[in-house]
Structure 1
């Protein structure tokens, strides 16, 4: 039995949440049982309710009551997965004292050192700083939606642009991108996620050539119609490029700079910069000089969707 512990909120973002949705789909497919432990967040909790996914709301900042042990015993959990970014050593101690396996994703917190596996697919530099009994890093262990396989195609030229900057877009970068597109007289479809909070400003900017779509059922399906995506530096650009959709990348957080730089280095996208420092004159040059077909082919060739299988094979070795 897997216990999957997630943090999801407007401030944290929803990347961890949606990554675990892909993990859940994989576990369903191979008939592994699981339960979700998650903080109170109306958007995420509603999604789980609507999709009939079993979960318990927990206080992730409570390091005293040992809620972890109570849930481990109640659900007979033997593998605990954290997807919370930075975990605390006290939390990790509460898990491992029950003699079960602890897996964590992208964990730079003090709790990482007690993990049996620390999976850091989006780390490309300074791997020696990662803690854990065993560390797995690089896009071989990237969790992507398997639906991508059905929607791959090579793009040949630039006709349609899609903008998608995360489930929450904490800093409202979508607004800056839309202002740029308007100045350049470029149309686009704007995808907003479930925790997006900048609609008033967005609606004031929208004209006929801009289409806003909220909470699309399948972002992968949506991608199929487009030739270029403007995205942040999370999981989304990997999903896009794996399907053959080239990306212009904007780092919404400092830790995304490494991801965006990596995607540019393997030739599947172009890094426009950290959101606070973007030169929009240079941004226009990037858009018009994109070698769409080359970037598209590189994405399909270099970004695989086999990460879940690779991770599961490592887990069952423990």
Structure 2
């Protein structure tokens, strides 16, 4: 089966869509399908597409011309915040379709809607004939490196902390957080991840010292190993939060995009992470310090770790792909929610 994955990602909007689509791409391969990804974005997206079959193309703007290529695929996956409803309807009328959603963005046409977010079951999705919903953390698609993971040992002392703000850090949060930690928590060893789209790379490199180490061009396996080596992570509130939950690494989240707000609030509510606030909040660093003080307590980190691992087991991409392949191959009906 040939599978077309349509998504978007760039240095301006980040790479979260590409990351989770990569998870599905890898799962489709495991089940014997042949996926191909088309990304609306810029050349910076290539940094997170290595090893995949893909094309950088504005498939939305050039839809009329691109539409003809759908004949070569049996199944389509769409993950977009930008594509209009009419385009979704056109795709669904042409091919069986899996739609990836985060916040009930629109009323989807026939097919399968995937929202693996921790808050997804609470959203008021409309009941609709010929539409299936896959909702909640058991369906969150994570990269292959996170399908099988060692058991994290929660260490008594908080000594190492990870900072990661995705592939681009468009809000320039990384140097601000480093400076805050150096001043207020000088004993901590700080590991910093710099993504391929970082425009502030040089500024971050000037902050390196014996306590601040910078890591670049990390594979998913490298990222997993780095996460497992720390006690706490300060992160943006996107896809990385689910990888942290999978491993059981307690997190303090900063929302750097509006689509991360529900995610951050959801993780705070269930107790896995602490939500420090929107990136522009005046009290952001005050809360960041407060929550880091809380995580100095071993029992608080142990509790958060257990909650995260109980909600995300890393098998979401496999569950989703197995379901849609069976459904579309056997022509199963679409029961209402």
Deviations 1:195-225 (A, max 9, x none): 1111233234333311111121231122111
Matched, 1:196 2:194: no
Cα gap change, 1:115 to 1:177, in 2 (>3 Å): farther
Distance 2:261 2:247 in 1: 22
How far residue 153 of structure 1 moved from its aligned partner, in angstroms, is: 0.9
Instruction: Give the TM-score normalised by the residue count of structure 1.
Output: 0.89
How far residue 247 of structure 1 moved from its aligned partner, in angstroms, is: 0.6
The Cα RMSD (Å) is 2.3
Please give the residue correspondences for 1:1-318 in structure 2 after superposition, counting only pairs within 5 Å. 1-45=2-46, 47-48=48-49, 50-51=50-51, 53-62=52-61, 65-68=64-67, 70-73=68-71, 75=72, 77-98=73-94, 100-106=95-101, 113-122=108-117, 123-124=119-120, 127-128=123-124, 133-148=131-146, 149-157=148-156, 158-184=158-184, 185=186, 186-217=188-219, 218-277=222-281, 278-290=283-295, 291-315=300-324, 316-318=326-328
1:118–1:136 CA contact under 8 A, matched in 2: yes
Deviations 1:59-89 (A, max 9, x none): 2342562412x2112x2x1111012234213
Instruction: Give the TM-score normalised by the residue count of structure 2.
Output: 0.84
Structure with larger RCO (C-alpha < 8 A, sep 6+):
2
How far residue 15 of structure 1 moved from its aligned partner, in angstroms, is: 0.8
Unaligned 5+ residue runs, structure 1? none
Q: Identify which range, 176-185 or 195-204, moves more after superposition.
A: 195-204
Distance 2:245 2:153 in 1: 10
Runs of 4+ in 1 over 4 A off after TM superposition: 107-110, 129-132
Q: Identify the residue that residue 332 of structure 2 maps to in structure 1.
A: none
Cα gap change, 1:238 to 1:40, in 2 (>3 Å): closer
How far residue 140 of structure 1 moved from its aligned partner, in angstroms, is: 2.1
Unaligned 5+ residue runs, structure 2? 329-337
